């Protein structure tokens, strides 16, 4: 659906609910969008918890992080929605904390394994890879990604 095409009517139809249900719980379109973005942020926190466990068990951190990126961009609809969140958050200060959850969460996840500077670099790289995959529609090359992350995380 995407943020730009979000309407009470479209959400109600997709959820199989009467229009009145969405307008009752979310009186304005901004309320509805914010609720959706909060749900997305909560899903992201679940991902971070899962990824943290996988990183604790990983023998090859760059390969594990590359696998996270590939998994993330495979769900293109979700990745696109979360990218749209960043654009909307750039215009709406009230939504910035939701968008910052990605930046700080991913950084906090990586720092213990790769250090402060490398974590910052990998998060930035992750964002770029995500945008490139969404724009081009091409699959991400896991081996090339692992090599790039290894370069970013090797002192």
Q: Which of 31-40, 61-70, 111-120, 129-138 has the lowest mean pLDDT?
A: 31-40
How many structural domains compose the chain? 1
The C-alpha atoms of residue 134 and residue 116 are separated, in whole angstroms, by 27
Q: Which of 30-34, 69-73, 110-114 has the lowest mean pLDDT?
A: 30-34
**Residue 112 lies inside a defined structural domain of this protein:** yes
99-140 pLDDT, tens digit per residue, is 888 789 999 999 999 999 999 999 999 999 999 999 999 999
**Measured CA distances, 16 to 5, 12, 34, 74 (Å):** 17, 6, 20, 26
**Residue 15 lies inside a defined structural domain of this protein:** no
Q: Cα-Cα-Cα-Cα dihedral of 58, 100, 47, 121, to 10°?
A: -30
Ramachandran assignment for 60, one of left (phi > 0), alpha (psi -120 to 50 degrees), beta (any other): beta
pLDDT above 70: residue 69: yes
Domain holding 136, by residue range, is 29-153
**Residue 95 lies inside a defined structural domain of this protein:** yes
**Residue 141 lies inside a defined structural domain of this protein:** yes
Whole-number CA gyration radius for the chain: 17
**Residue 17 lies inside a defined structural domain of this protein:** no
CATH of the domain at 121: 1.10.357.10
Question: Residue 2: what pLDDT?
Answer: 60
């Amino acid at each position: 659906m995407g943020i730009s095409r979000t309407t009470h009517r479209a959400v109600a139809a997709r959820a199989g609910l009467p229009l009145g249900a969405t307008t009752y719980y979310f009186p304005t379109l901004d309320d509805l969008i914010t609720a959706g973005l909060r749900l997305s942020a909560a899903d992201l926190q679940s991902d971070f918890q899962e990824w943290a466990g996988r990183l604790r068990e990983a023998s090859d951190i760059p390969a594990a992080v590359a696998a996270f990126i590939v998994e993330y961009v495979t769900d293109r609809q979700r990745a696109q929605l979360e990218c749209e969140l960043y654009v909307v958050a750039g215009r709406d200060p009230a939504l910035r904390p939701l968008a910052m959850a990605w930046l700080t969460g991913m950084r906090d996840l990586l720092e213990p394994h790769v250090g402060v500077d490398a974590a910052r670099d990998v998060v930035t790289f992750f964002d770029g890879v995500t945008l490139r995959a969404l724009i081009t529609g091409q699959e991400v090359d896991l081996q090339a990604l692992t090599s790039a992350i290894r370069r970013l995380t090797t002192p």
